[in-house]
């Protein structure tokens, strides 16, 4: 029941690797780290979730908040490497249609 968040930013391109479980306990850690970058103008963020083995609505909430902030500052957020389970979570909540999401099964890396 842990989370590891590694974010690297250079030339307004944010690369992130998130590992572990995102729930009510770990989501605040993720939120805090992402908040550091969400107000950068024109940020291009790519977050790799291929090692996230559990997520619930608290995680969705964090990504939605980040997505909204970055978008309103003219940036873009891409989530990649999602397992079928994770992708499903975005799909059943309707977020899959709104956000840029690349799952593992769909030509992802």
Tokens 């490497």 appear where?
Answer: 81
The single-letter DSSP state of residue 17 is E
Q: Provide the terminal-to-terminal Cα distance of the chain, rounded to the nearest Å.
A: 26
In the complex, the smallest distance separating the C-beta of residue 9 from other proteins, rounded to whole angstroms, is 28
* Chain positions contacting other proteins, by CB under 8 A: 1, 21, 23-25, 54, 56-58, 60-61, 85, 89, 92-93
Lookup: tokens for 73: 């500052």
- The smaller minimum CB distance to other proteins, of residues 14 and 101, is found at 101
Judge whether 76 and 100 are in contact, CB under 8 Å: yes
In the complex, the smallest distance separating the C-beta of residue 61 from other proteins, rounded to whole angstroms, is 7
- The smaller minimum CB distance to other proteins, of residues 45 and 60, is found at 60
């Amino acid at each position: 029941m842990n989370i590891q968040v590694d974010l690297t930013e250079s030339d307004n391109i944010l690369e992130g690797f998130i590992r572990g479980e995102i729930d009510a306990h770990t989501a605040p850690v993720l939120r805090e780290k992402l908040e550091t970058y969400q107000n950068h103008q024109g940020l291009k963020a790519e977050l790799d979730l291929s090692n996230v083995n559990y997520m619930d609505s608290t995680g969705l909430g964090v990504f939605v908040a980040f997505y909204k902030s970055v978008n309103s500052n003219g940036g873009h957020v891409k989530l990649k490497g999602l397992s079928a389970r994770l992708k499903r979570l975005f799909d059943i909540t309707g977020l899959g249609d709104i956000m840029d999401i690349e799952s593992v099964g769909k030509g992802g890396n």
